[in-house]
Structure 1
């Protein structure tokens, strides 16, 4: 299993994005092997920037602790020492999920093909396609072409 697959599994089982994201970071940082020093601020702004805020990180710590998935120890009010309960996470991951759920389904559909095509286009072509020329730019090209053709006719 790869990291992205683990994250999908955690989101589907926990049914909460912030809880899954925080647990994924803790597992990635090997908190299942040794205690990991972090804080809600560090989790929100350094490890999951633009994804969750510090209050959501704090709630995720509490939620994961209430579920028995992590153990939290506050050290001198400056850091949160976290240990992942590896066996509890294994039990969570062993629960059955329907294969037709988003993230697990292997079903192909037209939108995915269009997205693959879009992603394959070079960046400049995508920008050009999303920013069509203005009327002034079109008129400028037309006038330029007319001038070139009239120059050619004069010779």
Structure 2
């Protein structure tokens, strides 16, 4: 923004700061092998989407690992607030579109379509607010009208389509 406003000194300052933060992230969370210290869908999605990997080789390793993690969990989403809106775009940007769509179209819990399969008309606070037997999850955090999980627009679009049982 500083560059767009013609504030060259500020632009240089923030570019340098961004480089330092990126390097600190790499030093703290990217292993020499190219894998992340936190071997999760969220960690890889964040690193890929925000370009926090040291080089193309590490990026390829992260892309492969994200796809492996998604497949290993039967193409169910294993993220929270931070990773949810990033995981499918990260897969799509890494040319793993088939994996992204398989994740997106999954109907078992945890997934976006699980709620629709259980007649959700809003976004739930947790993936399993409604249990497979049709009862409300007795645990805490069981709002059935919540901003969570980054799916509001997705849910609205998908709710127009009938899902097969």
Q: Give the shorter-chain TM-score range.
A: under 0.3
Q: TM-score, normalised by structure 2?
A: 0.23
Larger relative contact order, structure 1 or 2 (CA cutoff 8 Å, min sep 6): 1
Q: TM-score, normalised by structure 1?
A: 0.24
> Which protein shows a greater Rg?
1
Structure with the largest fraction of strand: 1
